[in-house]
Structure formats: C-alpha cells, structure tokens
Chain A
Amino acid sequence: AQSVTQPDIHITVSEGASLELRCNYSYGATPYLFWYVQSPGQGLQLLLKYFSGDTLVQGIKGFEAEFKRSQSSFNLRKPSVHWSDAAEYFCAVVHGSSNTGKLIFGQGTTLQVKP
C-alpha cells in the first residue's frame, strides 16, 4: 500500500541554524509530493510541491525540497530557521491508484525553535 514516512516525530533546532526534515514515500510510479505546514489550531498551508521536472523545488517562506527517486525521499530544507517556523510539518503524496487526488500524509514532524 502507498505510504509516507516521516522518521522524525520531533526536532529542535536553534534559531538561525539550518533545518532538514525527512520524508520517505512508498509508491511505484512518479509521485506527486507536497509539504504542508500546520500552526497550532490552524489548517494546513502548502509550502511546496513536486510534480515533475527539476528535482529541487522552491517554496514559500524560504523552504526548498529535493526529490530523490533513488532514495524515495523528498526532504524539506531551510538554510536559516526563524522562531516563527515552529510548527508541525507534513509530507504528503497524491494517492496514485485513484483519480480523486486524495492525499496520503505522513504522521508529521513537530519543529521546535530555540532562541
């Protein structure tokens, strides 16, 4: 079955430090991949998406992600974290066997930023 794994449940980084959040997917064909961010009590906001083409994609708020087919990964990165980046981050893939576009999410990574 198709799945998304985010190995790190909780990550703490210092403000100004670099960040990498890991995401691995299980899917045979070329996946459609997304990263969403959720602040406490809020809905999900799209950070970036990968459909095809350049494997390094740029998103909002200074985030980027790299699609690596050989590793089945789509890791999210940011060179310098700001305190406002503290939130929960979800990696997701469009379910490939239906044409509904429904998303399969990972369990999320909670990011804490130390001053």
Chain B
Amino acid sequence: DTGVSQDPRHKITKRGQNVTFRCDPISEHNRLYWYRQTLGQGPEFLTYFQNEAQLEKSRLLSDRFSAERPKGSFSTLEIQRTEQGDSAMYLCASSGGVYNEQFFGPGTRLTVL
C-alpha cells in the first residue's frame, strides 16, 4: 500500500487552457473525494465517488469542472477554460467507509497565469 498519489504535483497554465489532474486512491478503498484548498483556508469539498458513481457534487463545482472515476479505480479532475480564480491546491482523498479515516494525497498545486 503506497497511499494516495496525485499527478502532477504542480501545474502552471495560462488562463483559458484546459488542465487534467489524476488521483490514484488506495487500492481497496471504494470512496474517493476531491477537495480544493486555497491559501489560508481549509479544504473545501468538491465531489465524491463511490466506486465509479459520482454521487455528490458541490455547488463550488462549476460546469467547467468535470470528474470521472472509470472502473472505480483512479479518478481524473478536469478544469476547462481555466480562470485565475481556479488557482488552488487540489486534494484527493480515499476511504473504505463513510465514517472511516480519509487518506489524503499530496495534492496538485494549480497556478493559472
């Protein structure tokens, strides 16, 4: 068990470009979460998957954001037409149950110029 991994760790892009992040959860975990963390704030929930089904999306998740978890394994988070306000740390977490500990990945830091 190597923990939750995320790729890339850092991404710098120009406004208007599309970006995609990947999260590989702990293999036996069926629950996967995406959070966004801006400077000086705690993480905010974005979306949740149980296996391959996306069961909840935050109102923070505009229609420029889309997430997938094909086959219930890794997940991707895509942001289309990036804006400067999208600059943040994007964290992925996985867990084995609704009240179980969530294990967090190291995050992907996005900078939109």
Contacts and interface: CB of A to CB of B under 8 A. Distances in A.
A106 B41 CA distance: 8
Contacts of B33: 100-103
Q: How large is the interface on A (under 10, 10 to 19, 20 to 34, 35 or more residues)?
A: 20 to 34
A90 B99 contact: no
Interface residues of B, number: 28
Interface in A86-108: 90, 92, 94-95, 98-108
A4 B45 CA distance: 14
B40 A107 contact: yes
Contact of A105 (B40, B42, B98, B100): B42
Nearest to A36: B104
B105 interface: yes
Given A100-B56, A103-B102, A92 B42 contact: yes
Contacts of B102: 46, 101, 103
Nearest to B105: A43
A53 to B, nearest CB: 13
A45 interface: yes
A41 B56 CA distance: 27
10 contacts: A34-B101, A42-B106, A43-B91, A46-B101, A100-B33, A100-B55, A100-B56, A101-B95, A101-B98, A108-B42
Interface of A: 4, 9, 32, 34, 36, 41-46, 49, 51, 90, 92, 94-95, 98-108
Closest 7 CB pairs of A and B: A105-B42, A43-B104, A101-B98, A44-B104, A102-B45, A100-B48, A43-B106
Given A101-B31, A101-B100, A103-B102, 15 more contacts: A9-B40, A42-B107, A43-B91, A43-B104, A44-B93, A95-B45, A99-B98, A100-B50, A101-B48, A101-B97, A102-B56, A103-B33, A103-B35, A108-B41, A108-B42
Interface of B: 4, 31, 33, 35, 40-45, 48, 50, 55-56, 91, 93, 95, 97-107
